[in-house]
Structure 1
């Protein structure tokens, strides 16, 4: 009976028949499907043809070693998201650091302990499954949002957007709460078992030969030291997803029936959190640096959800402009940047400036930027709704001002002015 909830398979990469036998037996005993590759080149070829759920990768192999194999897998868009666990006898910190820097998610020391192999495989398969589930939820909601945009403009409301994002946050919250709520008792169990084992060692300092061999095979000292680190990694990952969920909930507030006092800095930060995946480096695409120069702002009387939508539209456009500049090779000597500055002017208006150093906008197009259905992007990359929605929210609903300054080849700056009261 297959105990593995995943329908995919695990790829074992090792040239040693003994290691292959041990790993195969361990995985097979728990009902995991697996395939085998004996060198890095064939592992890459197999992964490109049929992506595995997880790769157990030996470091020391003939031809290209495990480190180079990992590097090639991670720069290939087809295979870059496959979790890789190194299997290695190298215990030095430099080797471990190198493996993690190349994108590996974990390592299993040799000689193998079957329980450890199964435990680590299960943890990373479950994390991958959770990540895929969350990505699918985000993808589904995003498609629904795109279909609803025209209707939102016509009805002059953004409540549907808030509901969609709140739904995503809710869907994320349930599985991540399950994980985070179980980490603490798992830590307590681990601590208790560790204390018990140490007590056994103290009370029975001369165990039998069989127990001594088992302790050596397991590398008990390492396991006891490594378990808290694994739990800390799980806790850090769950906290990051919880922060994203909180940002989604903050972003989705749609108090459309009445204005309330709100912290606009919180709205900006929530939007940046949602856009984190587009700001990070990916392959040959460099990371986008965000420079914040926040002044001291009072709470502003506004429609919170709609102001967050303004921030999203303008920041997403800034990322698009930088992506285009990078693809055109215009950022080779520059660091892609988005600068956000806030202040209060002499007329008691909150001023928010969002600037990028991307491709810029020609003068002849600037006058049309806020027209519904007008876009400067290529076909299929823009609906022409984002800036028109932003203009409507800032100017019509908040009696503010939305301006743009831009110069081709230098960048674009959007200036939002909102009355404090």
Structure 2
């Protein structure tokens, strides 16, 4: 057996038994498997069933001649790839040209030489083998390329010079909603992926016809369901004509950009918040220093007034009584101013973070006293409705006073704005394991839009307000294991409720 053969089948077709016998002897032992047929019908039948690699086909046969057999073989997809070599006594050029034109690859004249037949058969078998290997490799490369294309995130279209779709990857089908089977061979423009964008469609046409490159960002693609998807688009001409169009879905990227922008805005707000807190801290330190400096001359005024009282004892009784009354009033007002300043110093000092046992009655009594100045400015009274039972809590006194004072001041400003004279009410309550207080007013109330994000930073119902008071107050209350809540006053106005865990001094801090 020849080492050059691969066991391919060869079909010998001739109506003359002697010729068939000669062909068998010629090819016998060459390593090929030999089949035989004595007419055209038998040749077509055997070829379709056995699918030989090569057919040695006699031209001059009764009934269906060799040329007709070849035409039928080439017309059938199942047999079209079979190599056909004609054998014929016809040696005229016209017959040879006709045989090659209808699909034959070679033409051997009768009577033939055995060596010539064997040499030509081997040559064409080799060529057929190489063609099959090349076709198989091309198919593998196409499959590999398709797998690569299906693995990428971008949608890729192959287009001919008229804009018809010649290929597309899986992502292109997913992005557009059009299956490959429905659009291959169809015009890209019939899909109306970019409806209404005349400039882009014209640019796509120029890409296909003239090879003009194209790149556009953030273009609205309309998929099969009519949904608009933002994409980046690029197109490049192909060397053999037509173009490649690449689309990248940027929906997720745009969403990430929006989130990043929101994060930046939140960071900027936090910077402003921290800057404002720093200014408040600096202002508190300045206020403490001013209070200290002012308290000394006020103490001196009080002392001088007392000295003056003793010095007027030698004056006539009428004048002495009047002066004494005036000096007493001076002393009272100086002591009152000093007390206000002392409370301010206590309030603006930095919280130590240390918690103490204290009753809400005592804590809020100091807050009401501290609010007297705002009460006079706004012309609004503040009433405290204490609970008869001592309400013990374990808190940072200064922080809870900060919350209470902030709510009371807001309530007084809202009441004054509404031209109401109804006092701001501070009510203590004890409910099971919750102790706390409510601050209610009969002011202007809150805008519903403000209510939705009342405790968010930088949200304020006051003109020019920074909107951090309630946010900080909520943080303080939640840091103590409690909370702060809001509800509209049924008769107009607002009610803020501050809740804290109940504390029993007899059980100690561990059980708080």
Instruction: Flag the structure with larger Rg.
Output: 2
* TM-score scaled by length of structure 2: 0.41
* TM-score scaled by length of structure 1: 0.50
Q: Greater strand share, 1 or 2?
A: 2
Which one has more relative contact order, counting CA pairs under 8 Å at least 6 apart? 1
